[in-house]
Structure 1
């Protein structure tokens, strides 16, 4: 059973998670319950049940092995039931809690992704409208600076940033950039900084309005690049939580900065795969997918594996393998979306049309072939 590490946040917001687990034939569990403990040291691990007895059952040991729990994890808890939605937890070398979920639970998450990205794409015109209006505000109020970050988030596909990483790793993202990380020459703006995992970023653009705003924030006291001025004339910094809260306010949904990167990664992957058009064999198709993902990963500043796993919607890959030419998605569905959502680019409407078609196909499957609970 192959597993993956997922963040500690609930994977199924705004719904009854225990009912969702039950619909997939799983038990909703918690690591606060008695479970299996990992004992010993790397290379000589052994396992004890809740009563302290040695775990000898071959099926259980095989399940534990399949979880591929990193040797460096400490405080490892393993679910005693093979059908627990949560299979294992532990702390990594940095003390951060990590999770291993059951494959069927991840399948439910994937089903959410179809609707989440579809709805995010439909919300983009409204988000862009709010951002454009805020950028025209006089001075440097909070809304204008947050809108500037969101605008850059979409334009550059940079990570949002985390103050802890900036402090401990000297790695930066949009909200943690310092004045030294940007150069402005007329309408030309250039960002140069070290990002997550030590990846160096050099991002250039030409935007007169953006250059003017960033120059004003850069001139404020302090080393933080993005600050706003309150009603009393005092400067304040912003962080990723502020940006995500702003996104929720202007979209009316629980969207975050990561949704922008996932959307951008998905659209870029669709465009890259469209360039390859038809393929003669599955091997050629796989090779084209690898090349497309590498291209997107370079733009996002990720490794190809992380890019495909986290930032490219699987529907794009599936559609390519099935021989769907994305250019053909400019059908009535795509044109209708362009008409309804006039701020969408044609390629964005095409991706939305594809996601809509895939979701309709999922809904048309026999009930027994998919989970009973709609995760939306």
Structure 2
């Protein structure tokens, strides 16, 4: 079981954080690929393109030609991809409606009003920030928890597959991917993408460098700068995984996770490979982010199952108890409490705690056993959602 501690420099950074979802990671990886003139064509999850089409949008990247913002004294002017001034009133109104902060630098604006990504820019700290089409945001928010029941149900099958692949000889692609999936499962670390590592010096599991890990007596200790500059410190006690990770770490190069191809050459692992492994192993389209959503939901269910409803203080006391519970989950995930509550905990967990059904479904003893807690959380959510689906 992974132990998440207050980070090397404190898990809660004071900087403002914009919510960035899995589509974010996929887009940035694709952009990084196109950034090189000699790179292969953009490689984006077909499911994301299909979702955009279904919403009447076009899936785009900020490496494509777009509109640039130029400062003119206290105001801005805009130039299209050909360098011509943007003068159309409707187009200028669309740009103003994006509310791009004046302090942002290197601003790119999508030339297509139906692009799923409408603008990017870098804030005062040099971090890349994004403005999405309202229809895309609504689509992603509506489907945020749609897969959680299927993912929770698929976990036993996935874990059997990873156990099998971890027994493969050498350091093959399948074995190292199984290793990464097990680590995602146990630690809930973000999967990472190379663009963040390159541009922001922030890391996830697939982009960690060897210097970010210490292995001693069967214990793994990860210490690295994560998303939004938050320092992360995560420990895991697992002798089998530690032995395999140590072998991977001993390969030449700075990257921690690499595999050996059929010719014995070192090859990097990226988040797309991890998602492909999940798809192939489970037979359904899951992503690495689903580990964090499921893990956050199950952990919240366990925390709240051990949190009695306040007998005094009314709604104010109940809100305070929920805030404290979310803080505990946020510390595990390395998020701010606001992001954690919005993106990683199923709303039915909160409602079930308020009406008492969560306490009936999950006992404190069950909450202390991770696998039992997962099964109980899955049963609880199925029971909660069943009436709503029938009614819908």
TM-score by length of 1: 0.73
1:104-161 Cα offsets, whole Å, 9 max, x none, are 8756545534431111111111111101111111221111111111111111111112
Q: How does 1:215-234 map to 2 (within 5 A)?
A: 215-234=246-265
Question: How many Å apart are 1:257 and its aligned residue?
Answer: 1.0
Structure-to-structure mapping, 1:351-370, within 5 angstroms: 351-365=377-391
Gaps of 5+ in 1: 22-26, 32-36, 336-342, 367-376
| RMSD, aligned CA | 4.2
2:338 aligned to 305, 322, 339, which one? Answer: 305
Report the counterpart of residue 201 of structure 2 in structure 1: 170
> Closer, same or farther in 2 for the Cα pair 1:14/1:195, shift >3 Å?
closer
Determine if contact 2:305/2:362 at 8 Å carries over to the other structure: no
Which stretch shifts more, 164-173 or 207-216?
164-173
Look up the match of 1:140.
Answer: 171
CA contact (8 A) 2:48 2:59 kept: no
Corresponding residue of 1:291:
324
Q: Which residue is 2:210 aligned to? A: 179
Q: Could you say if the C-alpha distance between residues 263 and 89 of structure 1 is closer, same or farther in structure 2, counting changes exceeding 3 Å? A: same
Q: Distance in 1 between matches of 2:48 and 2:186?
A: 28
Aligned partners of 1:85 and 1:105 also within 8 Å: no
Instruction: Find the aligned partners of 2:236 and 2:274 in 1 and give their Cα distance.
Output: 22
Instruction: Provide the rounded CA distance (Å) in 2 between the counterparts of 1:185 and 1:38.
Output: 51
Shift of the alpha carbon at 1:206? 2.0
Write the distance in 2 (CA, Å) between the matches of 1:109 and 1:11: 15
Aligned to 1:314: 347
1:323 aligns with 2:355: yes
Alignment map for 1:113-128 (pairs within 5 Å): 113-128=144-159
Partner SS, residue 309 of structure 2: coil
TM-score, scaled to structure 2: 0.70
* CA deviation after TM superposition for structure 1 residue 175, in Å: 1.2
SS at match of 2:147: helix
Look up the match of 1:90: 119
Write the distance in 1 (CA, Å) between the matches of 2:201 and 2:115. Answer: 36
8 Å contact kept, 1:4–1:100: no
Q: Given that residues 326 and 350 in structure 1 are in contact (C-alpha distance below 8 angstroms), is that contact kept between their aligned partners in structure 2?
A: no
Q: Is this contact kept in 2: 1:188–1:204, CA < 8 A?
A: yes
Alpha-carbon distance between aligned partners in 2 of 1:42 and 1:288, rounded to the nearest angstrom: 50
Counterparts in 2 of 1:78 and 1:209: CA distance versus 1, 3 Å: same
Secondary structure of residue in 2 paired with 1:316 = helix
Q: Which shows bigger deviation, 345-354 or 88-97?
A: 88-97
* Counterparts of 1:346 and 1:118, CA distance in 2: 16
1:153 maps to 184
Aligned length, in residue pairs: 335
SS of the counterpart of 1:232?
A: coil
Residue segments in structure 2 that go unaligned for 5+ positions in a row: 1-17, 28-43, 61-67, 79-85
Query: Could you tell me whether the CA contact under 8 Å between 1:115 and 1:359 is conserved in 2?
Result: no
1:24-45 Cα distance to aligned partner (Å, 9 max, x none): xxx76899xxxxx999889878
Alignment deviations for residues 2-35 of structure 1 (CA, whole Å, 9 cap, x no partner): x9876468998697767x76xxxxx76899xxxx
Query: Shift of the alpha carbon at 1:96?
Result: 6.0
User: Structure 1 residues 17, 295: closer, same or farther in 2, change over 3 A?
Assistant: same
